[in-house]
């Protein structure tokens, strides 16, 4: 049995026939775009009644909306102030403790200003693009915080019509329709401080386990490491520099590689606490005592750092402060899109524990 329904959009009525069986999954804005053979931005313009769209394209989009029974987000359209009063924070995952701290504090700050903040896990660029289409182009959020935008090509999806704040990355110089605010870590100085701490404790044979090469923080921490070694007139052994993936397993594998050689460094600067966890495990597996035979320093001061064996010497970044500042900038930009963009840098603080030994 078939039935017909009529939907009114922008004074255009379209009709569509449906079978008795209904799709169990609600159609998305991206589904409409694919069905109509247009971009998701075009679908968004038709729904909002903004921008230049030909009558032919508009009618095609409306037909697809009717055929798929897509329902635009009503709350955002009916907000009395023309806003959804909702923000989003896109992160590669919601399990990284540093990113979780940023999100949690940003949520608290957003609520103080009358906004809800949605945490959104975007594991890869395709998921990121889908969430941009649904939440931003779909009118569900007024602004976005993006953690680690250069992890892959996701930053190319950020030519948005809403304010954007970067965290864990600085804006790169490129053409953009929308300049971005940013709250970033002073990774260059953090890398320098970590390496200087090892040098100050008498270490001259120092290796490094880096993070993901695509991230600005990785490159800045490497630059800080190199600057400290150059300042101390110490040679850099490139065989003692290897990349990890930001996770404990990556730290374990990289540490095992560096510690297996006949000649190994007396100290390691590790990109992050999560990877340092893996390094400590690799050292223990090879019966290398930390810090007596190997000193280790890292960056982040994750909650688990103080509870490792031995407790991890690290540089602390105030991720809660980063989240608060990011939310403050985003709210300000949402409420006044003509306000000047800002780039705030947060410095790190050395936390001395038990993984660095003095050999001076």
CB hemisphere CA count around 176 (13 angstroms): 18
Global pTM value: 0.72
**Complete DSSP assignment for 220-252:** HHHHHHHHHHHHTT----GGGEEE--SSHHHHH
Handedness of CA 235, 241, 246, 249 (dihedral sign): negative
Domain match, 254 and 293 both: yes
Quote the CA–CA distance of 84 and 23 in Å, as a whole number.
Answer: 28
Q: Phi and psi at residue 31, in whole multiples of 5°?
A: -60, -40
Q: What is the pLDDT of residues 44-93, one digit of tens each?
A: 778 766 567 888 898 898 888 888 888 765 544 544 456 778 999 999 99
What is the structure's pLDDT at 73? Answer: 58
Domain match, 65 and 164 both: no
Quote the CA–CA distance of 94 and 281 in Å, as a whole number.
Answer: 24
Domain match, 133 and 217 both: no
- Residue 165 tokens read as 């704040």
Q: Do the domain assignments include residue 343?
A: yes
Tell which residue, 166, 360, 185, has the closest CA to residue 271: 185
Domain match, 287 and 330 both: no
In the listed set 72, 105, 127, which residue is the last one of a domain according to the structure?
72
Q: Do the domain assignments include residue 357?
A: no
What is the structure's pLDDT at 293? Answer: 96
Tell which residue, 152, 186, 192, has the closest CA to residue 343: 186
What is the structure's pLDDT at 165? Answer: 94
Quote the CA–CA distance of 188 and 225 in Å, as a whole number.
Answer: 8
Q: How many domains does the chain have?
A: 3
Q: How many CB atoms lie within 10 A of CB 215?
A: 20
Domain match, 112 and 175 both: yes
**Residues 18 and 69: beta-carbon distance below 8 Å:** yes
Torsion of CA 284, 290, 294, 295, to 10 degrees: 130
Torsion of CA 157, 161, 162, 165, to 10 degrees: 40
* Element spanning 121, H or E: strand 116-121
- Residue 238 tokens read as 């490139």
Domain match, 177 and 324 both: yes
Angle, CA of 89, 92 and 97, to the nearest 5°: 85
What is the structure's pLDDT at 152? Answer: 83
Q: Do the domain assignments include residue 358?
A: no
Tell which residue, 302, 202, 205, 216, has the closest CA to residue 251: 302
Domain match, 194 and 312 both: yes
**Complete DSSP assignment for 133-174:** IIIIITT--SEEEEESTTSSGGGGG---SS-EEEESSPPPS-
Q: What is the CATH number of the domain that holds 232?
A: 3.40.50.2300
* 208: containing domain: 187-317
Domain match, 313 and 328 both: no
Domain match, 97 and 116 both: yes
Q: 349-351 and 313-316: which strand pairing? A: antiparallel
Give the pLDDT of the chain (360 residues) as one tens digit per residue: 333 333 333 333 333 333 333 345 678 888 888 999 998 778 877 876 656 788 889 889 888 888 888 876 554 454 445 677 899 999 999 988 889 999 999 999 999 888 999 999 999 999 998 888 888 877 889 999 999 888 888 887 776 678 999 998 877 755 444 478 899 999 999 999 999 999 999 999 999 999 988 888 899 999 999 999 999 999 999 999 999 998 999 999 999 999 997 799 999 999 999 999 999 999 999 999 999 999 999 999 988 999 999 999 999 999 999 999 999 999 999 988 788 888 899 999 999 999 999 996
Q: Phi and psi at residue 353, in whole multiples of 5°?
A: -125, -120
Q: What is the CATH number of the domain that holds 62?
A: 1.10.260.40
User: Exposed/middle/buried for 12, CB within 10 Å: 0-12, 13-18, 19+?
Assistant: middle
In the listed set 30, 55, 72, which residue is the last one of a domain according to the structure?
72
Domain match, 180 and 324 both: yes
Quote the CA–CA distance of 177 and 179 in Å, as a whole number.
Answer: 7
Domain match, 300 and 208 both: yes
Radius of gyration of the chain (CA): 25
* Element spanning 208, H or E: strand 206-210
Residue whose tokens read 């297996």: 260
Q: Do the domain assignments include residue 39?
A: yes
């Amino acid at each position: 049995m078939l039935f017909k329904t009529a939907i009114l959009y922008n004074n255009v009525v379209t009709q569509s026939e449906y079978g008795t069986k209904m799709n169990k999954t609600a159609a998305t804005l991206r589904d409409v775009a694919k069905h109509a053979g247009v971009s998701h931005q075009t679908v968004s313009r038709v729904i909002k009644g903004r921008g230049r769209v030909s009558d032919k394209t508009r009618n095609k989009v409306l037909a697809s909306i009717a055929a798929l029974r897509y329902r635009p987000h009503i709350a955002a359209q009916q907000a009395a102030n023309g806003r959804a009063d909702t923000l989003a924070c896109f992160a590669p995952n919601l399990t990284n403790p540093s990113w979780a701290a940023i999100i949690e504090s940003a949520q608290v700050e957003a609520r103080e200003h009358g906004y809800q903040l949605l945490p959104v896990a975007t594991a890869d660029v395709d998921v990121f693009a889908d969430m941009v289409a649904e939440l931003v182009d779909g009118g569900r959020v007024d602004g976005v915080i993006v953690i680690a935008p250069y992890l892959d090509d996701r930053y190319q999806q950020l030519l948005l019509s809403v304010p954007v704040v970067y965290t864990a990355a600085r804006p790169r110089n490129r053409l953009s329709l929308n300049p971005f605010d940013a709250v970033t870590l002073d990774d260059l100085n953090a890398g320098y401080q970590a390496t200087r701490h090892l040098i100050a404790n008498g270490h001259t044979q120092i290796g490094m386990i880096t993070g993901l090469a695509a991230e600005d923080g990785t490159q800045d921490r490497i630059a800080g490491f190199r600057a400290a070694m150059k300042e101390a007139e110490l040679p850099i052994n490139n065989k003692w520099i290897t990349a990890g993936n930001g996770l404990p397993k990556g730290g374990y594998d990289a540490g095992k590689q560096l510690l297996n050689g006949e000649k190994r460094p007396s100290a390691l600067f590790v990109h992050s606490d999560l990877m340092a966890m893996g390094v400590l495990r690799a050292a223990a597996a090879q019966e290398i005592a930390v810090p007596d035979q190997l000193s280790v320093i890292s960056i982040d001061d994750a909650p688990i750092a103080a509870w490792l064996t031995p407790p991890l010497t690290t540089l602390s970044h105030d991720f809660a402060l980063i989240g608060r500042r990011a939310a403050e900038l985003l709210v300000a930009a949402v409420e006044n899109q003509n306000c000047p963009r800002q780039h705030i840098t947060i410095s790190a603080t050395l936390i001395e524990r038990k993984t660095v030994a003095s050999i001076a």
